[in-house]
Structure 1
Amino acid sequence: MSKNTRTILIFLGSLIILGALLSTVNVEQPKEIDMATLATRVESGEVKRVVIRGPKLEVTFQDDSTAAVTKESTESFSELLKNYGVSPERARAVQTEVKERTGAAYWAGLILPNLIPIVLLFVLMWLLLRQVQGQNTRAMSFGQSTAREMPKGAKDRIAFKDVAGAKEAKEELHEVVDFLKSPEKFKKLGAKIPKGVLLMGSPGTGKTLLARAVAGEANVPFFHISGSEFVEMFVGVGASRVRDLFTKAKKSAPCIVFIDEIDAVGRQRGSGLGGSHDEREQTLNQILVEMDGFEPNLGVIVLAATNRPDVLDPALLRPGRFDRRIVLDMPDINDREAILHIHAKKKPFAKNVDLRRLAERTPGFSGADLANLMNEAAILAARQNKHEISMNHLLDSIEKVMLGPERRSHVMTDEERKVTATHETGHALIAHLLPHTDPVQKVSIISRGRAAGYTIKTPLEDRHMKNREEYVEELAVMMGGYAAESVFFNDVTPGASNDMREATKLARRMVTQWGMSDALGPRTYGEQEDLIFLGREIHENRDYSEKTAEKIDAEIDRLISDALETAKRILETHRDRVNGVVQKLLVSETLEREQWLETVGLPPANEKNVLTRKEEKLEPKKEEAA
């Protein structure tokens, strides 16, 4: 419902309510009597005063009561009294006053009853015309840009100091801000201001947050818009909005234009099917021309963000349009700790909270995940009526962000609980006894999300590369749950379906993408393409024969089979240990790292590596102290 329609309905409703209220008001009217009664009471001396207003008589009696009389307009009051037989003495004893009606009152009484409906009708027509005019105005402004300009003194303004991590990205963007603030020192050396900066990274790594920091640091106009706001179903509207945006930006130059999610409009041309894609391509063409066309675009820097740089058009990425590409990676442990400190502001924490330990437990978390973690911990503490956020709240929130909320109401039978405990113990024990796996931090059979139980492993340090042996052992850990069910129950359940799916994906990558197969050699097989039509479909462009496909399948089967055999061998060797851990899990449901080490009774196979890494970290500090 439009604003004008609501106004009309409110106006009509007000009239109806006003009329209903007026109809309930009782105005006291004088009693009506006839002329004969008046004459009789004049004769008896009961009338004190009479006011004559044309044919209307306002009578006041001796007791101050009043009455109204309507007389014939052709005769005077004195003649009427005489005709009714009232003596002249009694008639003269009555005070008589004649008041003539003024012209204004006469015309008001004549016109107003007919004028009010006409006025109401004109008001209603005026509101309808305004609505039609508003529709025409919106139609004329359909091609105008919807970019918002961030005011310089905004209350929620942030700066680079409010963004943790991303040091290289902040340095690049700080240089852009310096160029806008003091361009002379760059121009003296012949440097030109960059036309575009593209922020690339996974979702949640802080691309939009960095753009807000640029707006806070740069003392220049900042226009921000989403890529989806350009594209409409009508051809030409997106290009018109692009032209309008850059026209506004050029008038405010030097300035920054931020286009969020530019992949919504910047996808590769020529891959579209249908009119909507033609509209998107026209919009992209206009962006290309505005950024680097015949007309110079001086003083306008385009800042864009995307998490899909692989689908962008090559013409958009060339130098002269986006001169700089800034990649934002997932934060490492130091960055995660700094991010947690930022989100910990204005939150009361207990003394046992260790944000460094929290950063160690959250590898692979993005900045958005960490912000969500802190918020979930605060919500959990408030739900429990606590005045402080404890470390347990934070650790529970890690699992909630990773796996989902606890499902305590999900009741399992004793047999299902035993199968789940055995399954998770299989994962944990194999990870514990293989030398190149991550240490086990927690084992639980409490349902979370869609998982009946879970095992948490965290690396000792942030790593970006693994070797073949580490991936092979990771496959064995993945197959640990399946192997445990097979060894201890001589049967399997659907609980291992996700493990098998992830193991198959990892084995396929090892064979087809990473060259980790001796039988197939160091080359890649297949090229994946995204087909965006009636949904998202991953299509593999095969560049190998059917015979090679058989070899790929055989290698994947071999990797998974070897991993399964390794897992079974370890579990067969330590049957008693597995049974002990299962019994402990059935009682306590959750084992933290200290409880796990105490229950399993075996040192971790990677303990030597852990000590070596710790010594390597401590040695430089000893030298500095010396």
Structure 2
Amino acid sequence: MAESKTNRVALYASAFLVIILVLFAILRDNADIITLKEAKEILKNRSVKSVVASEDFVYLKTEKDLYKIVSSQVTPDMFTDYKVQVKSDSSIVVYFLFLVLFLGLGALAFRWLQKKRPLLLSAESKRESEYKSLSDKAYPIESIKSDVTFSDIGGISDVKSELEEIIDFMKKPKRYKSFGARMPRGVLLVGPPGVGKTMIAKAVANAAGVPFFYQSGASFVQIYVGMGAKRVHELFVAAKNNSPSIIFIDEIDAVGKKRDGQRNDEREATLNQLLTEMDGFENSSGVIVIAATNKIDVLDSALLRAGRFDRRIFVELPTNKERASILSKYLEKVPHDVDVNSIANMTVGFNGASLAALVNEASLLAIRGHDFQVTIEHFHHVKDKVMFGKKKLQILSPKQKQYRVTYQAAKVICATYFDLPFEKLLLSNEKLTPATDEPLIKHELESRVKMLLAGMVACAIKYREHASSAKGDLDEAKEIVDKMIQDYGMGSSLIPSENEKEILMKKLYDETRNLLESLQSVMAFVENVLNERESITKAEVKKRLDEVL
């Protein structure tokens, strides 16, 4: 309080001194005094611009200077050619009013600053306290006990064999050290979202019986500079204090992206700290870092070099056999009457998370329908909802419905004829089979393009026109043909000609037309079924095709 009062007095004194100096500068007489002879010389040269007479002096103002001469020395006839202004005391009044105005404005500004000062100090102190609380707060970085086992995860036999060595190392470190072998410092799990990378890391921790420290890469990206690096350091300290242990960093690409060398922001500081911590492992530290990403191409090269992430494990989408294994796990506690192999066949392109969602949605549908168990029909109804999301059903006029029936009938016939992966078609579905990036042979790609063109071909045969809803299938067909010619070298030559794509598309269109024209009886059968119940299975279409072919 005393210090505040002293500061206030000093402020007032400084303000008063400034005002005195300003007033002195304004009121002081800065004219040079001259003799009568000098005055006559200046007047004779006609260099005087104005003449001001006061009680004591006469002021002569030239272009550049201001002179004064004592009034008693001059005579009126000296200034016959000039208009003499009389300097009165009113100028003092003006100066006084100016001083009062100056003091008033100064007082108002001072009071405004006094009122705003607590708010400014409060905002500043709030920012300082926020940063201090973030930097000083002891975030509880604690390990979690993993209850996930490898038996809970289906279809990862290849991945499990890769990780068993690490598990054995953490259980029996002396065995490996006796051979001079060191434990890998980092394991990078690479794969698309939803394949179970986090569950795999938890299963490793459970099998090894060690503490498991989980962090997301995004949790290291902080607003304040230095906070992310501090968080990384605290994580590694906690893991070392509880060694042997496992650190799992999910979505490491959030903090480990390539450095461009043009900036040094918080993310790069955090990445540098992570690299430093991984380099600082001693062979006896007993800490392994497991990281997961689906974008290995964007990671900084320093993370990927030997000595940091020594081992990379690619976790791909499950195969048919692996999907069946995963589904068996999820169906263990669900009352059902389904063949997991049938569901596995209809879920090409599904990851582990999608399969879990599929089983859950089928169970919820069974509960809503008051059924005693989940059947294959429940899976048929919810599969597209899981794959493509729930869409509002379009309200079709009778004519539009006939176009849709013909369009979908042609697609399901071609998909069955070429044995594309699907189990059932619903009239309301725009998609029939999921796109896949798996290596495909030329005739497999052509079969898919024919299926995508089939609806337009059938409508052209029957109605000589098709609906705008064909856009999605047409776009996908064009994309596949473009890749076949440009990327896969499946044209007439490895270097495609200008109209190669047009030639291939016309060839596939004509072949699809010939196929559908030869299967008009099957088209009629499928259209009748779709008109009656708005769905048909692959088995029904195949049975009818077998009767005709």
Task: Pick closer, same or farther for the CA change 1:136–1:519 going to 2, 3 Å.
Answer: same
Identify if the C-alpha distance between structure 1 residues 288 and 169 changes in structure 2 by more than 3 Å, giving closer, same or farther.
same
Pair 1:305-2:292 in alignment: yes
Matches of 1:428 and 1:501, distance apart in 2: 19
Identity in percent = 36
Aligned twin of 1:205: 195
Residue 387 of structure 1 aligns to a residue whose secondary structure is coil
Q: Secondary structure at the match of 2:182?
A: coil
Partner Cα distance (2:126, 2:208) in 1: 40
Aligned to 1:485: 459
The residue aligned with 1:438 is: 420
For residues 138 and 500 of structure 1, the distance between their equivalents in structure 2, rounded to whole angstroms, comes to 56
Structure 2 Cα separation of the partners of residues 224 and 137 of structure 1: 26
Within 2, Cα distance between the matches of 1:271 and 1:441? 53
Residue 314 of structure 1: how far off its partner (Å)? 1.4
- Distance change >3 Å, CA 144–CA 194, structure 1 → 2: farther
1:384 aligns with 2:369: yes
1:553: how far off?
Answer: 5.8
Structure 1 position 600, deviation (Å): 4.9
- CA separation of 1:433 and 1:391: change in aligned 2, threshold 3 A: closer
2:396 maps to what in 1? 412
Partner of 1:76: none
In the other structure, the counterpart of 2:248 is 258
Which position in structure 1 is the counterpart of 2:408? 424
Query: How far off its partner does 1:469 sit?
Result: 2.2
Aligned-pair CA distance for 1:204: 1.0
Structure 1 residue 325, shift from structure 2 partner: 0.4
For residues 323 and 281 of structure 2, the distance between their equivalents in structure 1, rounded to whole angstroms, comes to 45
Change in CA separation of 1:314 and 1:457 when aligned onto 2, cut-off 3 Å: closer
Aligned residue type for 2:409: T
In structure 1, what is the equivalent of residue 304 of structure 2? Answer: 317
Cα distance, 1:144 vs structure 2: 6.8
The equivalent residue for 1:341 is 328
1:192 counterpart = 2:179:
no
Aligned partner (choices 509, 529, 545) of residue 564 of structure 1: 509
Equivalent in 224, 229, 232 of residue 242 of structure 1: 232
Question: Match of 1:161?
Answer: 151
Amino acid in structure 2 at the alignment position of 1:233: I
Counterpart Cα distance in 2 of 1:291 and 1:439: 46
Residue in 2 aligned with 1:520? 494
- Corresponding residue for residue 316 of structure 2: 329
Q: Deviations over 1:35-58 (max 9, x none)?
A: xxxxxxxxxxxxxxxxxxxxxxxx
Alignment check: 8 A CA contact 1:361 1:458 kept:
no
Q: Call closer, same or farther: CA 1:250–1:294 in 2, change over 3 Å.
A: closer
- Is the 1:483–1:567 Cα contact (8 Å) retained in structure 2? yes
Q: CA deviation at 1:564?
A: 1.4
Matched, 1:500 2:474: yes
Residue 424 of structure 2 aligns to which amino acid in structure 1? K
Q: 1:439 to 1:140 in 2, by over 3 A?
A: closer
Rate the CA distance shift 1:333–1:167 in 2: closer, same or farther, 3 A: same
1:473 aligns with 2:447: yes
Q: Is the CA contact 2:324–2:341 (under 8 Å) kept in the aligned structure 1?
A: yes
**Residue 345 of structure 2 contacts residue 422 of structure 2 at CA under 8 Å; is this kept in 1?**
no
Distance 2:257 2:165 in 1: 28
Size of the alignment, in residue pairs?
426
Q: Distance in 1 between matches of 2:497 and 2:257?
A: 33
| Separation (CA, whole Å) in 2 of partners of 1:574 and 1:355 | 33
Q: Is the 8 A contact 1:580 1:600 kept in 2?
A: no
Aligned to 2:16: none
Deviation at 1:598, TM superposition (A): 4.6
Give the RMSD, CA atoms, in angstroms.
3.0
Counterpart for residue 354 of structure 1: 339
Decide whether the 8 Å contact of 1:472 with 1:559 is kept in 2: no
Measured after TM superposition, the shift of residue 518 of structure 1 is 3.2
- Rounded to whole Å, the distance in 2 between the matches of 1:308 and 1:144 is 33
Q: Distance in 1 between matches of 2:235 and 2:420?
A: 51
Matched-pair contact (CA < 8 Å) for 1:227–1:260: yes
Are residues 145 and 239 of structure 1, via their aligned partners in 2, closer, same or farther at CA, if it must alter by over 3 Å? farther
In the other structure, the counterpart of 2:143 is: 150
Structure 1 contact 265–284 (Cα < 8 Å) conserved:
yes
Q: Secondary structure at the match of 1:337?
A: helix
Asked if 1 retains the 8 angstrom alpha-carbon contact of 2:348 and 2:421, the reply is no
Evaluate the alpha carbon distance shift between residue 177 and residue 603 of structure 1 in structure 2; reply closer, same or farther with a 3 A threshold: farther
Specify the SS of the correspondent of 1:245.
helix
What is the SS of the residue equivalent to 1:199? Answer: strand
Distance 1:555 1:144 in 2: 65
Q: How do 1:115-126 residues align onto structure 2 when only pairs under 5 Å count?
A: none
Note if contact 2:195-2:316 (Cα within 8 Å) is conserved in structure 1: yes
Higher helix share: 2
Give the secondary structure class of the aligned counterpart of 1:197.
strand
Deviates more, 1:364-373 or 1:286-295: 286-295
Q: Is the 8 A contact 2:195 2:351 kept in 1?
A: yes
CA distance in 2, matches of 1:367, 1:335: 9
CA change 1:294–1:587 in 2 (3 A) is closer
Distance 1:281 1:553 in 2: 46
Preserved contact between residue 439 and residue 458 of structure 1 (Cα < 8 Å): no
**Which stretches of structure 1, 4 residues or more, deviate above 6 A after TM superposition?**
132-135, 294-297
Deviation of 1:184 after TM superposition, in Å, equals 0.5
Supply the distance in 2 between the matched residues of 1:561 and 1:593 (Cα, whole angstroms). 27
Q: Summarize the alignment of residues 526-605 of structure 1 with structure 2, pairs less than 5 Å apart.
A: 554-600=499-545, 602=547
What is the distance in 2 between the residues matched to 1:570 and 1:195?
A: 59
2:379 maps to what in 1? 394
Instruction: State the partner residue of 2:271.
Output: 284
Distance in 2 (CA, whole Å) between partners of 1:209 and 1:147 is 23
Residue identity matched to 2:305? R
What TM-score does the superposition give when structure 2 sets the normalisation length?
Answer: 0.71
Give SS of 2:142's match.
strand
Unpaired runs of 5+ in structure 1?
1-131, 522-550, 605-626
8 Å Cα contact 1:353/1:390 also seen in 2: yes
Q: Is the 1:147–1:223 Cα contact (8 Å) retained in structure 2? A: no
Equivalent residue in structure 2 for 1:371, among 327, 349, 356: 356
Go from structure 1 to structure 2 and tell me whether the alpha carbon gap of 1:142 and 1:567 turns closer, same or farther (over 3 Å shift). farther
**2:260 corresponds to which of 261, 266, 270:** 270
Deviation at 1:136, TM superposition (A): 4.0
Contact residue 376 and residue 397 of structure 1 kept, 8 A: yes
Separation of aligned partners in 2, 1:301 and 1:582: 60
Letter in 2 for 1:429: I
Quick one: which amino acid aligns to residue 328 of structure 1?
V
Q: CA deviation at 1:552?
A: 6.5
Give the whole-Å Cα distance in 1 for the aligned partners of 2:416 and 2:333: 39
Q: What is the Cα deviation at residue 198 of structure 1?
A: 0.4
Given that residues 380 and 424 in structure 2 are in contact (C-alpha distance below 8 angstroms), is that contact kept between their aligned partners in structure 1?
no
Structure 1 pair 236/388, CA: closer, same or farther in 2 (3 Å)? same
Q: Structure 1 residue 571: deviation in Å?
A: 2.2
Equivalent residue letter for 1:424: Q
CA 1:392/1:507 → structure 2, altered by over 3 Å: closer, same or farther? Answer: same
Deviation at 1:134, TM superposition (A): 13
The 10-residue stretch of structure 1 (387-396 or 499-508) with the greater mean CA deviation from structure 2 = 387-396
Pairing partner for 2:169 from 166, 174, 179:
179
5+ residue gaps, structure 2: 1-124
Mapped partners of 1:133, 1:519: distance in 2: 70
Equivalent AA in structure 2 for residue 389 of structure 1: V
